[in-house]
Structure 1
């Protein structure tokens, strides 16, 4: 069982706050690639996003680099989105077919337990890097959830509650998964 855990879902669900809290507890974390790419493009005076296939490819490249950088980590580490999210974008943009997605999915495995944070109306805000409406965020959440299930992941919805409660929820779920894996 791999120790690479994914936080995914729609924009505005609190993934970044949860990731920061896990980092404060000493866990290795990887921030979302899309936000870094958008930030860099804006600083260079470019549009936030290139066309969808190019944007997805840039995210995929960054996500695979992050994955490889944490190959030797043997403690749980957390990714704000993953290669699987990038593969969804590439497939949706028509830049990668089903066979290539399957090949890449098996080359970059994550723990089968994936934590999904739904868009949360109470905390949802747009900013320079997040320009989706709340209803668009809900669509992204639903589509990604179906995508992860399609590729055999076990999706665990993280409840909308305080950050410390979310951290406790995630760490408890990881401990339970490890116990079940050890019992098998």
Structure 2
């Protein structure tokens, strides 16, 4: 079983890539932050990212999803973000990383939950606003750099998925996965 992280700045096209990978037969585990935001919007809370426990909620949902699917899946799985992304988000929001987040990062690194090769989907040069995505293009570029620096600081190898047509972006991911499979 190989667990790969697919990440990138908001609006980079991650979700489209993940949907195509899912259609190609790969398992996909959904992003937690967007779901935490959507739930709190549904409960009438307009800016859940301002709550002191926002990061903890994301970490909790990420961990539950990872632990739930981990033992059940015996094939290549793509995770839409990871706790490392949550650390980058806390840095972007100028929040101290809470202990549960640091513990979760330690756990996933120690237990080798994810492959060290991470697919980093690059910005397409625009951001489509949604209820959960309220970031400007300029801020998304800042976040992209924080995100990249955070992964590199923890020793991950980033594979850039450049802006291109969807089939070409998916092919980059599948070609790297196939190459890694042949090496092992």
TM-score by length of 1: 0.87
Give 5+ residue unaligned stretches, structure 2: none
SS in 2 for 1:170: helix
Does the CA contact (< 8 Å) of 2:29 and 2:65 recur in 1? yes
1:167 correspondence with 2:170: yes
1:52 CA drift (Å): 5.9
Q: Deviations over 1:83-120 (max 9, x none)?
A: 22123445652133697466233246311110001221
SS in 2 for 1:29: strand
Matches within 5 A, 1:1-184: 3-51=2-50, 53-72=52-71, 73-90=73-90, 93-96=95-98, 100=103, 103-104=106-107, 105-107=109-111, 109-122=113-126, 124-180=127-183, 182=184
Does the CA contact (< 8 Å) of 1:8 and 1:15 recur in 2? yes
Give 5+ residue unaligned stretches, structure 1: none
TM-score by length of 2: 0.87
Does the CA contact (< 8 Å) of 2:89 and 2:147 recur in 1? no
